Amino acid sequence: MRPSTSDSIEPDGNDSASDLNSDDSSNIDTASLISDVRRYHFENGRRYHAYQAGKYLWPNDEEEQTRLDLFHHIHLLLLDGALYLAPIDSEPRHVLDVGTGTGIWALEFAYQYPNADIIGVDLSPIQPSWAPANCNFIVDDVELNWSYGYLKFDFIHVRGMVGCIADYGRLYQQAFDHLTPGGWIEVVEFETLIRNNEPCDESRMRHTNMWLEYIDQATSSIDKPVRVAADQRQHLIDAGFEGVTESVYRLPFGTWPKDPKLKEIGRYQLAQMLQAVDSASPAIFTRILGWDTARLERLTTAVKKEFLDGSLHLFCNLHFVYGRKPTT
């Protein structure tokens, strides 16, 4: 049975601590383009994307790739191994994975549906070169005009784009236009609010709340807000999708839940969030807010200490929203 936000989690009781969109491709120097997108930017000891440099605030180095794959594993645990919730056609032909990251979702979908063609799109070319023949990866910016020509998709998957999109209405309108009639879109977003499962003195989460508030202020100041997970359902409705359905799941931090499945999820989620603090913070705090690294390290150390406090039963919400393009 899948966890829901409708009920509090029962604690265990034993707490432990693209310019590529041009229609004129006749003179494209492929080797030069590949070199350009791999001319990565380095900042605060982390590596960031080169294409559309500065648009995405999270790094793309090996440490971050490990975190992204770990978070993918958490999604699979949460959905009992399923890659999605939308009731898509049993034999989809064309699938688009927006913000594919390491490509792990697209690869697994390609293996599960060998007769489908999957395209994964990201600003970083960090996906493996050994992808199956029915899975291709493109370096592109989904905030620009989509350039898939006549190609229409049966399923569009969007995951982990908070802090990346300035105009969700435009994004979902383009998705709507590039779906076949009756095609599905599914959006999965992490809610950037961290709560305690039971009432507690808020001062015990002071640094966590401060960290999140600074992130919200910084990303809002550049029109890429992170507190958007709860808005996705309405965005899909406004874009014209029908049957829009939302499921919200609680992700515990640590092994405090009594339920064995949530206990396992919590173990991975705590590890993922400890890494996320170090991934999300540098560009946001030094590049946008102008902090020095020493001040930032003091804050992130305090945040991770609160995450590791087993007496705090922390959790966050994960939103799955899907809808269908009308058949007429």
Report the pLDDT value the prediction gives residue 35, as an integer from 0 to 100: 64
- All domains of the chain in start order, with CATH: 31-323 (3.40.50.150)
The stretch 143-153 carries a mean pLDDT of 89
The stretch 2-10 carries a mean pLDDT of 55
Please give the share of the chain, as a percent, with pLDDT higher than 70: 91
Is the confidence at residue 281, as pLDDT, over 90? yes
User: How far is Cα of residue 75 from the mean position of the Cα atoms in its chain?
Assistant: 11
Report the pLDDT value the prediction gives residue 107, as an integer from 0 to 100: 98
Report the pLDDT value the prediction gives residue 149, as an integer from 0 to 100: 77
- The Cα–Cα gap between 293 and 281 comes to 10
Rounded to whole angstroms, what are the CA distances from 181 to 96, 168, 175, 190? 15, 21, 12, 28
Q: Which residues contact 171 (CB under 8 A, 6 or more apart)?
A: 142, 143, 158, 165
Q: Report the DSSP pairing between strands 314-324 and 242-252.
A: antiparallel
pLDDT tens per residue across span 51-100: 888 888 999 999 999 999 999 999 999 999 999 999 998 899 999 999 99
Give ∠ CA 277-283-284 in degrees, rounded to 5: 75
Q: Report the DSSP pairing between strands 46-48 and 94-98.
A: unpaired
Q: Give me the chain's average pLDDT, please.
A: 90
Whether the Cβ atoms of residue 99 and residue 164 lie closer than 8 Å to each other: yes
Write out the two tokens for 311: 């007496």
Report residue 104's pLDDT band, with 50, 70 and 90 as the boundaries.
Answer: very high
Report the pLDDT value the prediction gives residue 19, as an integer from 0 to 100: 40
